[in-house]
Structure 1
């Protein structure tokens, strides 16, 4: 049996985002059969009709959705605008458990919405101020993107995480509140979330933890409180703080990756965090830590309630 030359011997042209487009490949003399064979043999993966990524490109979920959105916008023959989850990844909005299954776009008109296997096309008239360019692509503004998501997610914590992130990126809270006055679906939950939003929350995990505290009517903490030692030197900046009596810390994957120094592994970060925690304890407060699975299993709130009672902030 004679095998045809393997597609990996072909140099596929990529754009600055690492995407291989059918149109560009054909201009370089690569045939549709060669592209199809590269997909079948696992050398390319199709991310959009007419757009591919080399199999050597490994991306996390939101990064993959970003390049898929870029491919969709590049291949589009209409003036559709990136929106909802797709606009969020272009803006760099942090989301809590986002649905990344389809690319989202707005028609900019009152009609034309539809859903297919690749895309969710939303109808809706857009004002000029509702559209900005992100990476050269028309995208719903940061404020409108946050509102679209918050009104559609159906869960308080997810809406809170979106608004926290939007404020962190500089979104106008008053403009979002005014825009919500003109909305109908999902507006009650979105208003409640915006009323509790805080740009000091650094990631979706921190937002989710605070969301659980809000729902359970627990005393709310100061966020990102800085602790100094007796000489006035920096000791730590803590995720949550209750009156200097109790400190709460969310330990997430993103946080630990952020704390990694060149040449370090996670073990080094864990050791350094333990020393940091001990230094905070020496200044007086109790320290409670939790991780993602504690939030998923709903075990953080009982522990936190007990600790708030122990330090006298919450009555038993």
Structure 2
């Protein structure tokens, strides 16, 4: 069997059957590579080279993006539908909370024809002209329309995550509100509530989910991305209450984002721990949590404990 790394890929990183055959591969060779796990089939006649990163959350998101693009760019489906909902979010690179990526989501502009068709989930919805944009020559719903479509079908946490991500990517609150105007579907109340609380300063799915839990528990609202100075260093916190209590969602991607040039993730973790120690010495309590804490409902009780004790904190040193 040939080396899959030598197979021709298009500008998206997709390997198409016709290109593989033109490069001297046979259908038997392609099928064998897929069975062995060297290739991953993302759509009929379309593959990507397998990568260990596909097992990670970000790798799974990217694989779903490629699968959505493969479906949208195939000759059979071209022009018939527009990528929407979670698939449009993937193409826009909007991270979502527990996205439904079992099928590629497309919208047929109209009121008839919804349902599941093979590898696609077809939504029959009326789209305005400005609801459709082009990203890398792929027709997708706009940032605002995508956020609304996802929010209407999800929980409050999922809706808030979608709206936060869209605002962070440049969508406007007014344009999202316009697309919610007049909606009477069961999810419209949730979507409107999420828009009220939406904030583009939230930098990750974990931060949005954390804030959704705080909002639903009616905790005191935090300030997002507040900066503190301690021991000559600047520390930017995910959540801040009265410059006395700092909350931090710890995801592995965070330390990758915080890395300086030439610095490893481990170096970034150590540096952040030193900053935390400096903040503690300056009278600011730092509370951290991870994804598992959100999954198991531990974040709100922990914050309730610290927020109730906020007024008893010792005075900050000058």
User: Structure 2 residue aligned with 1:14, among 9, 20, 23?
Assistant: 9
| Residues in 2 aligned to 1:196 and 1:280: alpha-carbon distance in whole angstroms | 28
| Residues in 2 aligned to 1:169 and 1:197: alpha-carbon distance in whole angstroms | 13
- Contact 1:95/1:204 (8 A) holds in 2: yes
CA offsets 1:140-196 (integer angstroms, 9 cap, x no match): 00000000000011x111111111111111111111112111323210110011111
Return closer, same or farther for 1:234/1:264 CA change in 2, 3 Å cut-off. Answer: closer
- Contact 1:65/1:100 (8 A) holds in 2: yes
Corresponding residue SS for 2:37? coil
- Contact 1:206/1:250 (8 A) holds in 2: yes
| Residues in 2 aligned to 1:203 and 1:9: alpha-carbon distance in whole angstroms | 34
Structure 1 residue aligned with 2:316: none
Structure 1 residue aligned with 2:35: 40
Structure 2 residue aligned with 1:3: none
Corresponding residue SS for 2:134? strand
Structure 1 residue aligned with 2:98: 97
Return closer, same or farther for 1:56/1:97 CA change in 2, 3 Å cut-off. Answer: closer
Corresponding residue SS for 1:312? helix
Q: CA RMSD in A?
A: 2.1
Q: Which moved more, 1:108-117 or 1:195-204?
A: 108-117
Q: Paired residues, what number?
A: 306
Return closer, same or farther for 1:109/1:29 CA change in 2, 3 Å cut-off. Answer: farther
- Contact 2:233/2:275 (8 A) holds in 1: no
TM-score by length of 2: 0.90
- Contact 1:250/1:291 (8 A) holds in 2: yes
Structure 2 residue aligned with 1:260: 259
Return closer, same or farther for 1:53/1:239 CA change in 2, 3 Å cut-off. Answer: same
Return closer, same or farther for 1:299/1:11 CA change in 2, 3 Å cut-off. Answer: closer
Corresponding residue SS for 1:249? strand
Return closer, same or farther for 1:234/1:260 CA change in 2, 3 Å cut-off. Answer: closer
* Residue 127 of structure 1: how far off its partner (Å): 1.6
User: Structure 1 residue aligned with 2:44, among 41, 49, 61?
Assistant: 49
TM-score by length of 1: 0.90
Structure 2 residue aligned with 1:118: 119
CA offsets 1:213-259 (integer angstroms, 9 cap, x no match): 111111011111111358xx552111111111211111112112212
Structure 2 residue aligned with 1:273: 272
- Contact 2:87/2:105 (8 A) holds in 1: yes
| Residues in 1 aligned to 2:62 and 2:4: alpha-carbon distance in whole angstroms | 27
Q: Which moved more, 1:38-47 or 1:163-172?
A: 38-47
- Contact 1:8/1:43 (8 A) holds in 2: no
- Contact 1:240/1:247 (8 A) holds in 2: yes
Q: Unmatched 5+ residue regions in structure 2?
A: 313-318
Return closer, same or farther for 1:29/1:57 CA change in 2, 3 Å cut-off. Answer: farther
Structure 1 residue aligned with 2:69: 70
* Residue 96 of structure 1: how far off its partner (Å): 1.1
- Contact 2:4/2:49 (8 A) holds in 1: no
- Contact 1:144/1:176 (8 A) holds in 2: yes
* Residue 128 of structure 1: how far off its partner (Å): 1.2
Return closer, same or farther for 1:229/1:162 CA change in 2, 3 Å cut-off. Answer: same
Verify: 1:31 aligned to 2:32, yes or no: no
